[in-house]
């Protein structure tokens, strides 16, 4: 696994043009579909206003500390997860690739939800879903087959926008970090904020909006005694902040040596949560309007979680309100913009990993990862089984893939290499806000234990009860299978020898040459 003198000349890695570019991209990654379609429903069904307590505890004691860990490792070792983690400890590369393939699995279905958003932006113009948005979504649009059948037959209304989404994001990734990802975030994120603010303000002026907000914010304090509510809060923070599975680590690896890490993490963390709460306000303002129109209580409105909230309940609301088409376009294009910037971050993990290991250019990496990703994405999620496949893969890769990768990552950093004290010293040497000593036991012990309990509970449930009413074979293939695929792909990539060594983005030619000579002399000494 050593690099050799005959390998391609090392090329300095790309870097953010400045701290702002990085901050926008980090916020763009965190603000995603999870903020708009996941948070409002999760908060509402887990105690309403009271959910904010476990949620903020999770943000401060889990989200931010893990974000600091991601930033510290990425920035100190200047590489995407496989490179950075092999510098933490020899065998760490495997965990780095595991994180990378978890991102790969997520991106192939995440792109599909974006494609739904693209299509629904168009449908909004004339409320194409007609009188019955529920059957329009499942029967007309997704043409979904019963959950015990499998179909390769294309659902064209998904397949076509999905192919377009892939072309677009691969073109961006192929342009490289600063010209592609950074430039895209600089346009998409401000646009998202503006569109979404207009949407929220409009929602607040709808009749009944206050009832919606009351339903959303009224605390059910007894829910604080329910461990499930706490687990939901931890899971939401993880999902929403994109921590612990390589994304933030990768982004931080492209920062310049003198960068304020901890302060930026705080800004990114709080910006993401603020957007999440804003989404709750917008969504429940609109839901309140719907309840008002129907003359029912908000509690009696159905379909307030997951895809149904965005793709069935929202269309109903859009059809009912004056100026609905414009509201619809705002809502679905916000969903698309929020999702694109997150999808780009998932892609950058994989692209960056390939660039670091093989010395490929951004465009070549985009091609190598883009072809299989597009094919898998179209075949599994652009077809009539798409919704079922997506539901299973999403559940397993999040409750097992993402969580196990975060546990392994945190434990690895605690026991090996520079240890957490070294990483804390690194953070403190460059940052404005100083990391307290308490961070070390928190990240090394408390967080892995909490995550382990969370994962063990999911695994026990899944083993005992399966997942929803899906057939065991589907759960094995798409659920456990997607985690297994990430493990196998990670093993293969770990055993392929390094062809390249990622260098400091600001290495001079002399440093690059010296590094090359050094690596040629020390067989196996890539550390």
- State which residue, 208 or 352, has the beta carbon closest to ligand PFF: 352
d(CA 73, CA 244): 11
181 binds ligand PFF (CB under 6 A): no
Pair of tokens at residue 127: 């409320």
Pair of tokens at residue 310: 């965005």
Q: Which of 33, 170, 317, 344 binds ligand PFF (CB under 6 A)?
A: 33
307 binds ligand PFF (CB under 6 A): no
DSSP assignment, residue 13? Answer: P
242 binds ligand PFF (CB under 6 A): yes
30 binds ligand PFF (CB under 6 A): yes
What would the x/- binding string for ligand PFF be over residues 339 to 358, using CB under 6 A? ---x----------------
35 binds ligand PFF (CB under 6 A): yes
Q: Which of 239, 360, 381, 498 binds ligand PFF (CB under 6 A)?
A: 239
Q: What's phi and psi for 250, nearest 5 deg?
A: -60, -50
State the residue for tokens 């940052």.
Answer: 431
Q: Which of 398, 399, 482, 494 binds ligand PFF (CB under 6 A)?
A: 398
- State which residue, 343 or 503, has the beta carbon closest to ligand PFF: 343
32 binds ligand PFF (CB under 6 A): yes
41 binds ligand PFF (CB under 6 A): no
The number of residues that bind ligand PFF (CB under 6 A) is 13
- State which residue, 36 or 206, has the beta carbon closest to ligand PFF: 36
Q: What is the 3-state secondary structure (H, E, C) of 129-165?
A: CCCCHHHHHHHHHCCCCCCCCCCCCECHHHHHHHHHH
Q: What is the 3-state secondary structure (H, E, C) of 335-367?
A: HHHHHHHHHHHHHHHHHHHHHHHHCCCHHHHHH
- Give the number of residues written for the chain: 527
Q: Give Cα 383 to chain centroid, integer Å.
A: 23
Q: What contacts 24+ positions apart, CB below 8 Å, involve 84-89?
A: 84/249, 84/253, 85/409, 85/412, 86/526, 86/527, 87/417, 87/527, 88/412, 88/413, 88/416, 88/417, 88/418, 89/412, 89/416, 89/417
CB under 6 A: which stretch of 30-38, 299-307, 437-445, 478-486 binds ligand PFF? 30-38
State the residue for tokens 């950058």.
Answer: 348
34 binds ligand PFF (CB under 6 A): yes
Residue 413 and residue 443 in contact, taking contact as beta carbons nearer than 8 Å? yes
314 binds ligand PFF (CB under 6 A): no
275 binds ligand PFF (CB under 6 A): no
407 binds ligand PFF (CB under 6 A): no
Q: Which of 16, 51, 94, 110 binds ligand PFF (CB under 6 A)?
A: 110
Minimum distance of ligand PFF from residue 211's CB (angstroms): 27
Residue 292: HSE in the Cβ half-sphere, 13 Å Cα cutoff: 21
Residue 250 and residue 173 in contact, taking contact as beta carbons nearer than 8 Å? no
Q: Which of 46, 143, 185, 240 binds ligand PFF (CB under 6 A)?
A: 240
Pair of tokens at residue 487: 């493990």
143 binds ligand PFF (CB under 6 A): no
Closest-CA residue to 390 (of 378, 404, 400): 378
Minimum distance of ligand PFF from residue 240's CB (angstroms): 5
28 binds ligand PFF (CB under 6 A): no
Pair of tokens at residue 89: 């400890």
106 binds ligand PFF (CB under 6 A): yes
What would the x/- binding string for ligand PFF be over residues 62 to 101, using CB under 6 A? ----------------------------------------
117 binds ligand PFF (CB under 6 A): no
CB under 6 A: which stretch of 135-143, 206-214, 237-245, 250-258 binds ligand PFF? 237-245
Strand partners, 383: 154
- State which residue, 127 or 347, has the beta carbon closest to ligand PFF: 347
Closest-CA residue to 490 (of 169, 105, 227): 105
Beta-carbon contacts of 465 under 8 Å, excluding residues fewer than 6 positions away, are none
- State which residue, 7 or 35, has the beta carbon closest to ligand PFF: 35
> Where do contacts with ligand PFF occur on this chain (CB under 6 A)?
30, 32-35, 106, 110, 239-240, 242, 342, 398, 402
């Amino acid at each position: 696994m050593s690099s050799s003198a005959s390998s391609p000349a090392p090329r300095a890695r790309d870097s953010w043009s400045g701290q702002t570019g990085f901050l926008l991209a980090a916020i763009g990654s965190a603000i995603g579909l999870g903020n708009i379609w996941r948070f409002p429903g999760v908060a509402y069904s887990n105690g309403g206003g009271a959910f904010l307590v476990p949620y903020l505890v999770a943000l401060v004691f889990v989200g931010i500390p893990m974000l600091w860990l991601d930033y510290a490792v990425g920035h100190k070792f200047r590489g995407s997860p496989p490179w950075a983690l092999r510098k933490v400890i020899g065998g760490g590369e495997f965990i780095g690739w595991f994180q990378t393939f978890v991102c790969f699995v997520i991106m192939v279905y995440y792109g599909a939800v974006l494609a739904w958003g693209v299509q629904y932006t168009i449908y909004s113009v004339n409320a194409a879903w007609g009188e019955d948005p529920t059957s329009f979504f499942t029967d007309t649009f997704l043409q979904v087959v019963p959950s015990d059948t499998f179909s390769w037959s294309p659902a064209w209304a998904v397949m076509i926008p999905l192919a377009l989404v892939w072309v677009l994001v691969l073109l961006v990734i192929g342009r490289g970090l600063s010209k592609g990802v950074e430039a895209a975030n600089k346009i998409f994120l401000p646009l998202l904020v503006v569109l979404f603010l207009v949407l929220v303000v409009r929602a607040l002026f709808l009749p009944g909006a206050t009832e919606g907000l009351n339903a959303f914010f009224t605390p059910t304090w007894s829910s604080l005694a329910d461990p499930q509510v706490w687990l939901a809060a931890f899971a939401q923070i993880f999902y929403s902040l994109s921590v612990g599975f390589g994304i933030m680590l990768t982004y931080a690896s492209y920062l310049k040596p003198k960068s304020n890490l901890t302060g930026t993490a705080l800004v990114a963390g709080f910006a993401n949560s603020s957007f999440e709460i804003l989404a709750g306000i917008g969504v429940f303002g609109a839901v309140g309007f719907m309840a008002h129109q129907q003359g029912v209580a908000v509690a009696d409105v159905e379909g307030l979680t997951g895809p149904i909230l965005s793709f069935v309940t929202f269309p109903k609301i859009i059809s009912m309100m004056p100026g609905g088409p414009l509201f619809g376009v705002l809502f679905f294009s916000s969903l698309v913009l929020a999702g694109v910037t997150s999808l780009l971050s998932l892609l950058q993990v994989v692209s960056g990993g390939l660039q670091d290991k093989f010395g490929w250019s951004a465009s070549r990496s985009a091609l190598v990862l883009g072809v299989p990703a597009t094919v898998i994405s179209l075949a599994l999620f652009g077809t009539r089984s798409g919704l079922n496949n997506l539901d299973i893969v999403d559940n397993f890769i999040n409750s097992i893939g993402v969580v196990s990768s975060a546990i392994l990552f945190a434990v690895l950093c605690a026991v090996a290499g520079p240890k957490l004290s070294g990483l804390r010293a690194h953070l403190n040497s460059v940052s404005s806000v100083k990391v307290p000593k308490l961070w070390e036991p928190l990240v090394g012990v408390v967080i892995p234990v909490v995550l382990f309990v969370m994962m063990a509970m999911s695994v026990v449930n899944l083993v005992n009860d399966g997942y929803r009413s899906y057939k065991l074979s589907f759960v094995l293939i798409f659920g456990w299978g997607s985690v297994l695929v990430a493990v196998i792909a990670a093993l293969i990539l770990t055993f392929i020898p390094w062809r390249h060594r990622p260098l400091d983005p600001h290495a001079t030619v002399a440093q690059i040459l010296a590094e090359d000579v050094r690596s040629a002399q020390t067989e196996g000494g890539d550390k």
